[in-house]
């Protein structure tokens, strides 16, 4: 078929050559520099173009708001340097998960995005403006409140620190599961420039550039931009085009003012835009539910005379009949100042950010006009202010800070049913309604949703050396959260008549209200909480460091702004409009070691996190507008062991391997939604006890690994040129892709392998060919239960094999 040839056979001569290219790189934590720069970041500007794999003693991190080395900082942190990000093609958070086994990223579209660490962070696949993220995303000290921002390309990144476990005593916004601390390359007073161009199959083109230099003795400017475009990976036969494409562009400008060695201010502005033809899911399978057979997918499709274009999801075809759009824009301005005082470093960060989301979706995932519009455009503004002091005196060090956050979100959405909705959504036992397309055709719900979110906190982290080897590090946080939300959904029939719930509704109106029902409620949440942690760190030797941590943390309560269930009279059950805060108890021990004259690194961390009142997704598998809401599960627990290993016996060879065992489950959840196979019948239970079952999205076993070898060559008179051959890969075991584990939505384990072969001159240029998913492994990123509980299971298929060339230069 045309579309299969395009994916697997286009550019045949290039494919034959490039498929033989082996590429890769070494791991995470690049050997950026042995000494910190003045702004607390690694002196990455002088780093070689290639990635260096070893977790070296000199890798600098600022995870605890002070300059430390990754091996001595007493917490579980993975550092991924800019060169390694570039070399592996990990240009966004989704790709970053292939390098960090404990990081999970799921996105059916930018708005429906979850970033989790150790299985915790946000409910999988739930769009709800009224909830908090458990994993904080910070770029240059600025908190990004929307997970949609994590779908953009990394822009001129120096390094990324993935911090695991609660971080609320060190960061402005409370982060109960962990944090992504992303540091951009800073303006320099020495002129420099970077440029990179990549081309590949599927129309892939990516360009990145950055230039930096002085404007005066006290002013420096840095300008960076990126552009990514790729054709879609799924062919839509209904519209004759490829969908799930990539179309990203972004830019950042930074102005650094450094009047003297003790004062500096950085003014930054950025703008990022995505316009992909996205996001489609494909037919995966059907499963039997407890609905009557004539109301399950096979019978409904047969009655409509419909068949999907392929029952093999890896044919990568769909026939979704609604034009797709995922217009996503984010940007903002920040001013960060650092002032050296007699007490320490005072840092102030003032920021405003915005987010615009304008989608178009096909929520029935089929080539039938069942749901013809399902769009929820949204606009957000957020303002943050953080002030902190970091210093030390003798054996004592400290970080104290204050943080303020204000957010306004407005969402105006619409859902409209089409001509095929009656046959697909209504009961055939009432032929007068079932056979009348006008009953549901044009039925429309118009939603108006708003949220005002205020948060304020003071936090502190202290450290005291009890002896030359033993230190204690307590931390505290006092937090206040307030949320005010309004949900308003108005429903009109196809003739424009307003629908309301009344005792005397006609049979026709009852059928319509069973699909889309009006609802209005106002909900408020506010709460204070106190949290804290304490860490004991003991240095057995200069290369062996141990630590033990206990943390008590909270994740703010929330508001259900997707709507809530209604009673028999159509009244909103407003007691379900708010969810309680999560209560977190976290325990962790770890050891960080180096051996063989620091050529090898072996780190081990073991953890256990218990959460009371866990904010879990609940779905009633309704055919209408309620796609899910939040409720509190009694208790959840995640525990596991993580291992990081790297070895660099010489400049010519390096390897790494990271492993994570994560056992995450509902300890007690007795009123959970039932799996689709147990739902839909007249006698089906209203809820199920899923205590002891697995949390969604978490593999028990996950690994990342890689190696690189190089040989010196003389090329164009260069004495430092290298030819290199590398590999990096990752594996994850099976995991559940539904809030309640279902036999139909387990994603089987898979391994991805990437290769790379190239020529480089350190600090000057790098040219290489790459193959990603080299063995064309078939895998799913996500599976989902289609609305209505008809037994239809749809999925997001992972990328096929891709290949191309990259040319990168540094001047």
The pLDDT of residue 22: 31
The pLDDT of residue 535: 98
Structure-token pair, residue 688: 């199920």
Q: What is 602-647 written as a DSSP string?
A: EEEEEEEEEEEEEEEEE----SSS---EEEEEEEEEEEEEEEEEEE
- Across 311-331, average pLDDT: 95
**Choice among 7-21, 311-325, 666-680 with the minimum mean pLDDT:** 7-21
The pLDDT of residue 619: 61
* 4: in domain: no
The pLDDT of residue 92: 79
Residue 236 has pLDDT above 60, yes or no: yes
User: Over the range 527-552, which residues count as b (16 or more CB within 10 Å of their CB) and which as e?
Assistant: eebebbbbbbbbbeeebebbbebebb
* 12: in domain: no
The pLDDT of residue 59: 67
The pLDDT of residue 124: 66
The pLDDT of residue 532: 96
Residue 53 has pLDDT above 50, yes or no: no
Count CB-CB contacts under 10 A for residue 374: 21
Helix (H, G, I), strand (E, B) or coil at 512: helix
The pLDDT of residue 69: 83
- Across 558-572, average pLDDT: 82
Q: Which of these, 314, 377, 442, lies nearest to 798 by C-alpha position?
A: 314
* 432: in domain: yes
Structure-token pair, residue 725: 């051959």
pLDDT in tens, 591-611: 999 999 999 999 999 999 999
Residue 43 has pLDDT above 70, yes or no: no
Residue 536 has pLDDT above 90, yes or no: yes
Q: How does residue 152 score in pLDDT terms, banded at 50, 70 and 90?
A: confident
Residue 55 has pLDDT above 80, yes or no: no
Q: How far apart are CA 161 and CA 142, in angstroms?
A: 14
Q: How far apart are CA 671 and CA 129, in angstroms?
A: 24
Match 């590429």 to its residue by tokens: 23
The pLDDT of residue 37: 37
Name the phi and psi angles at 117, rounded to 5. Answer: -130, 125
- Across 103-109, average pLDDT: 85
Residue 551 has pLDDT above 70, yes or no: yes
Residue 307 has pLDDT above 50, yes or no: yes
The pLDDT of residue 510: 92
Residue 412 has pLDDT above 50, yes or no: yes
The pLDDT of residue 475: 97
- Residues in CB range of 15: below 8 A, 6 or more apart: 9, 201, 803
The pLDDT of residue 13: 35
Residue 118 has pLDDT above 80, yes or no: yes
The pLDDT of residue 115: 87
- Across 566-594, average pLDDT: 89
- Across 179-201, average pLDDT: 95
**Most confident of the following: 63-72, 127-136, 736-745:** 736-745
Q: What is 543-592 written as a DSSP string?
A: TEEEEEEEEEEEE--EE--S---B-TTS-B-GGGSEEPPEEEEEEEEEEE
- Across 759-765, average pLDDT: 90
Residue 148 has pLDDT above 80, yes or no: no
Give CA angle at 349 (345, 354), nearest 5°: 165
Strand boundaries in 118-203, DSSP class E: 135-139, 142-144, 157-164, 178-184, 192-200
- Across 787-799, average pLDDT: 92
- Residues in CB range of 637: below 8 A, 6 or more apart: 608, 609, 610, 611, 664, 665, 667
Question: The whole model's pTM is what?
Answer: 0.90
* 219: in domain: yes
The pLDDT of residue 437: 93
Q: Which helix (H) or strand (E) segment is 18 a member of?
A: helix 12-18
The pLDDT of residue 86: 77
Domain that residue 412 falls in: 23-810
**Choice among 128-137, 453-462, 566-575 with the minimum mean pLDDT:** 566-575
* 7: in domain: no
| Percent of residues, the chain, with pLDDT higher than 90 | 70
Q: How does residue 108 score in pLDDT terms, banded at 50, 70 and 90?
A: confident
Q: Residue 810 to residues 47, 83, 194, 777: CA-CA distances in angstroms?
A: 10, 12, 5, 34
Average model confidence (pLDDT) across the chain: 88
Helix (H, G, I), strand (E, B) or coil at 313: helix
Cis peptide bond prior to 103, omega within 30° of 0:
no
Q: Which helix (H) or strand (E) segment is 7 a member of?
A: helix 2-8
- Across 648-663, average pLDDT: 96
The pLDDT of residue 64: 73
- Across 461-484, average pLDDT: 97
Q: Which of these, 193, 187, 113, lies nearest to 152 by C-alpha position?
A: 113
The pLDDT of residue 673: 86
**Choice among 198-202, 378-382, 621-625, 667-671 with the minimum mean pLDDT:** 621-625
Q: Which of these, 172, 179, 113, 132, lies nearest to 580 by C-alpha position?
A: 132
Residue 14 has pLDDT above 90, yes or no: no
User: Over the range 274-293, which residues count as b (16 or more CB within 10 Å of their CB) and which as e?
Assistant: bbbbbbbbbbbebbebbbee
Give CA angle at 448 (442, 454), nearest 5°: 160
Residue 810 has pLDDT above 50, yes or no: yes
The pLDDT of residue 28: 37
- Across 130-154, average pLDDT: 85
Q: How does residue 126 score in pLDDT terms, banded at 50, 70 and 90?
A: low
- The CATH code of the domain that includes 29 is 2.40.170.20
Higher pLDDT, 666 or 61: 666
Q: How does residue 65 score in pLDDT terms, banded at 50, 70 and 90?
A: confident
Q: How does residue 327 score in pLDDT terms, banded at 50, 70 and 90?
A: very high
Q: How far apart are CA 784 and CA 362, in angstroms?
A: 14
Beta bridge partners of 673: none
Q: How far apart are CA 762 and CA 720, in angstroms?
A: 6
pLDDT in tens, 687-727: 899 999 999 999 999 999 999 999 999 876 666 799 999 99
The pLDDT of residue 569: 75
Task: Return left, alpha or beta for 719; rule: phi > 0 is left, psi -120 to 50 is alpha, else beta.
Answer: alpha
Do 307 and 771 contact (CB within 8 A), yes or no? Answer: no
- Across 779-788, average pLDDT: 91
Do 479 and 528 contact (CB within 8 A), yes or no? Answer: yes
How many domains, the chain? Answer: 1
Hey, CA dihedral for 38, 44, 45, 48, is it positive or negative? positive
pLDDT in tens, 23-34: 333 333 333 333
- Residues in CB range of 573: below 8 A, 6 or more apart: 564, 565, 566, 567
The pLDDT of residue 430: 87
* 64: in domain: yes
Hey, CA dihedral for 289, 291, 296, 299, is it positive or negative? positive
The pLDDT of residue 356: 95
* 3: in domain: no
Q: How far apart are CA 62 and CA 40, in angstroms?
A: 7
Hey, CA dihedral for 716, 718, 723, 724, is it positive or negative? negative
Q: How far apart are CA 215 and CA 187, in angstroms?
A: 11
Residue 111 has pLDDT above 50, yes or no: yes
The pLDDT of residue 620: 52
* 136: in domain: yes
């Amino acid at each position: 078929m045309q579309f299969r040839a395009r994916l697997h056979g286009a550019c045949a001569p290039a494919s034959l050559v490039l498929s033989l290219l082996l590429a890769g790189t070494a791991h995470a934590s690049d050997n950026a520099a042995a000494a910190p720069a003045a702004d607390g970041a690694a002196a990455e500007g002088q780093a070689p173009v290639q990635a260096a794999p070893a977790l070296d003693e000199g890798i600098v991190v600022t995870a605890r708001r002070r300059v430390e080395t990754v091996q001595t900082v007493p917490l579980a942190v993975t550092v991924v340097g800019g060169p390694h990000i570039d070399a592996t093609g990990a240009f966004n958070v989704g790709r970053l998960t292939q390098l960090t086994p404990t990081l999970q990223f799921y996105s059916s579209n930018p708005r429906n995005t979850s970033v989790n660490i150790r299985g915790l962070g946000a409910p999988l696949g739930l769009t709800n403006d009224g909830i908090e993220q458990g994993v904080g995303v910070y770029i240059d000290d600025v908190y990004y409140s929307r997970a949609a921002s994590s779908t953009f390309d990394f822009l001129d990144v120096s390094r990324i620190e993935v911090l695991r476990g609660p971080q609320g005593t060190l960061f402005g916004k409370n982060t109960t599961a962990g944090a992504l601390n992303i540091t951009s390359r800073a303006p320099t007073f020495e002129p420099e420039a970077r440029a990179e161009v990549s081309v590949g199959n599927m129309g892939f083109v990516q360009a990145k550039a950055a230039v930096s230099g002085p404007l005066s003795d006290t002013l420096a400017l840095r300008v960076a931009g990126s552009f990514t475009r790729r054709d879609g990976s799924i062919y839509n036969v209904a519209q004759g085009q490829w969908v799930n494409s990539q179309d990203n562009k972004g830019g950042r400008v930074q102005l650094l003012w450094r009047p003297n060695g003790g004062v500096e201010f950085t003014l930054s502005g950025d703008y990022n835009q995505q316009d992909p033809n996205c996001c489609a899911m494909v037919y995966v399978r059907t499963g039997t539910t407890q609905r009557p057979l004539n109301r399950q997918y096979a019978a409904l499709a047969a009655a409509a005379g419909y068949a999907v274009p392929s029952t093999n999801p890896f044919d990568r075809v769909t026939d979704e009949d609604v034009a797709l759009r995922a217009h996503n824009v984010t940007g903002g301005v920040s001013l960060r100042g650092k002032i050296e005082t007699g007490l320490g470093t005072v840092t102030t960060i003032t920021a405003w950010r915005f987010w615009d989301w304008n989608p178009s979706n096909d929520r029935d995932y089929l080539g039938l006009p069942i749901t013809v519009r399902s769009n929820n455009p949204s606009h957000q503004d957020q303002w943050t202010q953080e002030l902190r002091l970091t210093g030390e005196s003798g054996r004592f060090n400290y970080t104290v800070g204050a943080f303020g956050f204000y957010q306004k979100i407005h969402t105006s959405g619409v859902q409209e049913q089409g001509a095929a909705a009656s046959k697909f959504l209504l009961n055939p036992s009432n032929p007068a309604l079932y056979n009348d397309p006008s009953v549901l055709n044009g039925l429309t719900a118009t939603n108006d949703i708003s949220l005002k979110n205020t948060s304020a906190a003071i936090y502190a982290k202290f450290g005291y050396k009890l002896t030359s080897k033993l230190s204690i590090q307590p931390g505290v946080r006092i937090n206040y959260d307030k949320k005010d939300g309004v949900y308003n959904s108005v429903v009109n029939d196809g003739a424009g008549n307003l629908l309301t719930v009344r005792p005397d509704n006609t049979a026709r109106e009852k059928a319509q209200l069973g699909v889309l029902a009006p609802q209005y409620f106002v909900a408020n949440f506010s709460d204070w909480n106190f949290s804290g942690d304490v860490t004991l760190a003991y240095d057995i030797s200069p290369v062996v460091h141990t630590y033990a941590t206990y943390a008590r943390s909270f994740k703010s309560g929330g508001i259900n702004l997707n709507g809530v269930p209604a009673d028999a009279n159509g009244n909103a059950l407003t007691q379900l409009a708010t969810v309680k805060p999560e209560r977190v108890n976290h325990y962790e021990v770890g050891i960080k070691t180096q051996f063989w004259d620091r050529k090898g690194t072996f780190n081990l961390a073991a953890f256990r996190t218990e959460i009371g009142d866990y904010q879990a997704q609940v779905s009633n598998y309704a055919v209408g507008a309620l796609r899910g809401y939040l409720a509190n599960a009694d208790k959840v627990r995640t525990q596991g062991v993580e291992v990081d290993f790297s070895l660099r016996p010489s400049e010519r060879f390096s390897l790494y391997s990271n492993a994570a065992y994560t056992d995450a489950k509902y300890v007690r959840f007795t009123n959970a939604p039932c799996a689709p196979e147990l739902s839909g019948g007249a006698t089906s239970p209203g809820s199920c006890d899923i205590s002891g079952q697995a949390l969604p999205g978490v593999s028990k076993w996950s690994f990342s690994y890689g190696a690189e070898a190089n040989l010196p060559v003389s090329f164009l008179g260069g004495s430092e040129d290298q030819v290199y051959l590398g590999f990096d890969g990752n594996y994850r075991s099976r995991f559940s892709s539904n809030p309640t584990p279902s036999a139909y939505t387990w994603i089987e384990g898979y391994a991805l392998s990437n290769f790379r072969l190239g020529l480089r001159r350190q600090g000057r240029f790098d040219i290489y060919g790459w193959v990603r998913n080299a063995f064309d492994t078939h895998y799913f990123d996500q599976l989902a239960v289609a609305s209505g509980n008809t037994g239809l299971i749809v999925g997001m298929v992972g990328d096929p094999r891709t290949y191309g060339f990259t040319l990168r230069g540094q001047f």
